[in-house]
A and B are shown apart, each in its own frame.
Chain A
Amino acid sequence: MNWQAVATTLKLASATSIILMIIGLPVSYWVAFSKWRWKFLVEAVVALPLVLPPTVLGFYILLAMGPQSPLGRSYESFAGHGLPFTFEGLVVASVLYSLPFAVQPIAAAFGSVDRKFIEASWMLGVSNLETFFRVIVPQSWAGVMTGLVLSFAHTLGEFGVVLMVGGNIPGVTRTLSIDIYDQVQGLNYSGAARTSAMLLIVSFVILSIVYGFNRKVWLFAADRRHRQDV
């Protein structure tokens, strides 16, 4: 097992899902509640990584980060080095790549919060921002957890974007999926099999937790309703 790749992957997935929580909550709020008529265009952009080949996404991210782009240049003058083929660059790419996995479940959960609770909070003198944290997020925690875990799990398994943007630098940008590819290229099938099996099991366990958790929340609520009826 390539423990260095395991560490890189976990570090990348953790950084990605934490950043996605920070930018995913406001983006999801906007997606759920904005009445802007062109909102659907933003929703389509957020969903793009679901359908675009990772190589296409990676290609554009690479262009945007490169020394030819104003974005890349300003980062380089600020940090002293470019974003491509660094861990930071990889995090930026992963955040974009996993954005829909965080935003879609969270926005769906926000959107299903009954509007009367939000208005009740306003009528009790509580600001929009505070209402968000005291009413909307607590009533959406299953969706928020799902978004967090799915973006973590999705980052664990990304390949195309990582290869395009991060390259294959041991200890920096070589993640598990790239490690598997290398092992297969080097005909080391038993090594590839062990790493693959581990990714399979970890992904399955994570998804089982997400789905089981959502179901349990649902059962818990139904149980409370039931007890009241009796």
Chain B
Amino acid sequence: MLLIADIDKTYDGGPHIQASLRIPHGASSTILFGPSGAGKTTVLRCIAGLEKLTAGRILFDGHEWTSVPPQKRPLGYLFQEYALFPHLRVRENIGYGVRHRTDVVERVAAKLNVHELLDRWPSELSGGQQQRVALARVLAREPRLLLLDEPLSALDAATRDHVRSELAHLLRGLGIPAIVVTHDWVDALTLGDQMVVMSAGRVLQTGPPQEVFTRPQHREVAAAVGVETVVAGRVKRREGGLAILGVGSAQLAAADPGREDVDFYVCIRGEDVTVEKGRAEQSSARNHLSGIVVNVAPAGILTKVVLDVGFELIALVTRQAVADLELTKGADVFAVFKASAVHLIPKSA
């Protein structure tokens, strides 16, 4: 293991955070996932040495790290708002940790495509550019582990998607393991090889992102990930702005994300799926999948109906609908949802 972290941190009169992380050697990225206040950033700061452990230990490549100052840890920490020094130009920001060695600055600037920005001030950069400069600054020191704290939360929605796939591509290309803190499930699926779900200062589940999303082991994890159905799908054809995908033994239509990719994660929220007894003629929804009810279970004020429509699809419906439609195990039904309710995440991203 590259990193073994058993973290126990108590704040005076505040939260108690307990988490164990194992990061293997090699270029895998681990998502630290959970709602705000779950303790994700605290875990990251403990690994970085910015917070002292109350108990526990951190071993990095076999070395005891608990009392090593942050300066002596070969880490690349990307802060949430990137923390570019406002009094230094991009060039000096990137060279800050390497005594402004020109060859290093030039090399990482080229790698991150920020060459034409070197003479600008940080305040003159867009959010995406700031992120690339901050990454360049971190990579200049050739860290052995990257710590990314909510790397996309400082960006507006329009640029986030673009920067996310850029970052995913970059992380795969760098060959440096990374720990990425996020509360966004799209980030988790796009950026992560492994995923650690935290809530209220505890680790609830660990595993590959898709497994965590499809088979949450705790109610809190299910609530934290927020999406009931995440399955693999492959584009069969594209027509009129729609992508027709094969999922399991079924076919469904989704808004075409306009990418070359054919392999996607298909994400459908339970609230977006309605269940009907016969084929609804008036409905404008594109997807009418026939199937049977596998399970019915209460989920808060709604009821969770698990359907087999060629793949496992989860619908959240009102209790009234359960009664009206006589939804019981084995009932034949149609699952109806709009093409726009299907969220596609490219697997290659």
Contacts and interface: CB of A to CB of B under 8 A. Distances in A.
A124 B86 contact: no
Interface string B71-109: 110011101110101110000000011000000000000
Given A116-B79, A119-B50, A119-B83, A126 B124 contact: no
Most-contacted residue by chain A among B71, B72, B76 (CB, 10 A): B71
A37 interface: no
A126 B97 contact: yes
Most-contacted residue by chain B among A124, A127, A135 (CB, 10 A): A124
A213 interface: no
B97 A139 contact: no
B87 A124 contact: no
B97 A125 contact: yes
A125 B81 contact: no
A224 B89 CA distance: 13
Given A116-B83, A224-B123, A121 B75 contact: no
Given A124-B137, A228-B124, A117 B85 contact: yes
Interface in B142-170: none
Nearest to A130: B71
Contacts of B310: none
Interface in A209-230: 224-225, 227-228
A125 B141 contact: yes
A122 B96 CA distance: 11
A123 interface: yes
B124 A122 contact: no
A8 to B, nearest CB: 38
A138 interface: yes
A128 to B, nearest CB: 8
A139 B86 contact: yes
A119 B77 CA distance: 9
B79 A125 contact: no
Interface residues of A, number: 20
B235 to A, nearest CB: 40
A44 interface: no
Q: Tell me the dominant secondary structure on chain A's binding face.
A: helix
Contacts of B83: 114, 116-117, 119-120
B85 A126 contact: no
A139 B79 contact: no
A109 to B, nearest CB: 13
A122 B70 contact: yes
A88 B71 CA distance: 42
Contacts of B124: 224, 227-228
B311 interface: no
Contact of A123 (B48, B80, B87, B123): B48
B121 interface: yes
Contacts, number: 57
A46 B320 CA distance: 72
A127 B71 contact: yes
Q: Tell me the dominant secondary structure on chain B's binding face.
A: mixed
Contacts of B72: 125
A120 B77 contact: yes
A116 B78 CA distance: 11
A38 B96 CA distance: 36
Nearest to A118: B83
Contacts of B76: 123
A134 B92 CA distance: 11
Nearest to A138: B87
A138 B121 CA distance: 15
B233 to A, nearest CB: 40
A139 B71 contact: no
B212 to A, nearest CB: 29
B50 A124 contact: no
Contacts of A124: 96-97, 137-138, 141
A228 B123 contact: yes
A126 B79 contact: no
A14 to B, nearest CB: 28
A116 B87 contact: no
B85 A225 contact: no
B161 to A, nearest CB: 22
A197 B56 CA distance: 68
Most-contacted residue by chain B among A116, A125, A134, A225 (CB, 10 A): A125
Interface of B: 48, 50, 69-72, 75-77, 79-81, 83, 85-87, 96-97, 121, 123-124, 137-138, 141
Interface of A: 114, 116-117, 119-127, 134-135, 138-139, 224-225, 227-228
8 contacts: A114-B83, A116-B79, A116-B80, A116-B83, A117-B85, A120-B85, A124-B97, A125-B141
Given A114-B83, A117-B85, A125-B72, 6 more contacts: A116-B83, A122-B69, A124-B96, A126-B97, A127-B71, A228-B124
